[in-house]
Amino acid sequence: MENWITNVNLVGTHIKLKALQADHQNDLLKAAEDGELWDLWYTNIPGPDTIQEYVTDALKSKENGTSYPFVVTDKQGKVIGTTRYLNLDPINNRLEIGATWYALSVQKTLVNTECKYQLLKYAFESLNVIAVEFRTHWHNHASRNAILRLGAKQDGVLRNHTIDHLGRIRDSVVYSILNSEWLAVKQSLEFKLSKKR
């Protein structure tokens, strides 16, 4: 199957989303070191022992057309995190935004709002999706609250949804934004970004 998304880089006022490359590995590890994010038990953030596998797996999923991973950089080009389009479904015009994490020093800033704004705008206005989905761990309350602040609505909870590398079973909370909701969500995000400039 031909890849739905190719050669996408998104540029905002304060951040850029660049297609993930193998040579971003060390920069991503430095971002994860800011807060030792790999210690968070309810999410999958790479550490020194897992960064190579993390990047390799992300690039394989891009190659097979199931995801499109980005690095997130600040205006100076410093890598501050990563995010992905996941579960790409061009037949049903749907996708998921996920596998998102940022260095501790940029959390609770405008970075996530602007990043999600750029991803949502491209999804709805260039790919013409009918829905964008978000999933997060039941216990990741910061992520759940951030998704709600974007304007997404909770669809439900997938009980015993996945098993992590340590054998722990995860309940996933699922949210979505529909194409019919995009204009209102867009206006809300633009308003939030204008207040943080």
How does pLDDT run across 85-121, given as a tens digit for each residue?
A: 999 999 999 999 999 999 999 988 899 999 999 999 9
Q: Give the C-alpha separation, 115 to 140, whole Å.
A: 19
Q: What angle do CA 131, 132, 133 make, to 5 degrees?
A: 115
CA 147 from centroid of its chain's CA atoms: 11
Measured between alpha carbons, how far is 124 from 140 in angstroms, rounded to an integer?
26
More confident residue, 3 or 65: 65
Q: Model confidence over 69-92: pLDDT tens digits?
A: 999 999 999 999 999 999 999 999
167 CB-near residues (< 8 Å, 6+ apart):
none
pLDDT value, residue 195: 83
CB 135 within 8 A of CB 172: yes
Residue 45 has pLDDT above 80, yes or no: no
How much is the pLDDT for 35? 62
Burial 53-91 (b: 16+ CB within 10 A, else e): ebbeebbebbeeebbbbbbbbeeeeebbbbbbbbebeee
User: Contact 105/154 with Cβ under 8 angstroms?
Assistant: no
Q: What is the pTM of this model?
A: 0.92
- All domains of the chain in start order, with CATH: 10-196 (3.40.630.30)
Q: Could you give the percent of the chain with pLDDT greater than 90?
A: 80
Tokens of 97: 């935004």
Given a contact cutoff of 8 angstroms between Cβ atoms, the answer to whether 102 and 81 are in contact is yes
**Contact, 100 vs 142, CB < 8 A?**
no
Within 8 A by CB and 6+ apart from 101, the residues are 32, 37, 43, 45, 81, 82, 83
Using CB atoms within 10 A of its CB, is residue 47 exposed (0-12), middle (13-18) or buried (19+)?
A: middle
Contact 127, 95 (CB under 8 A): yes
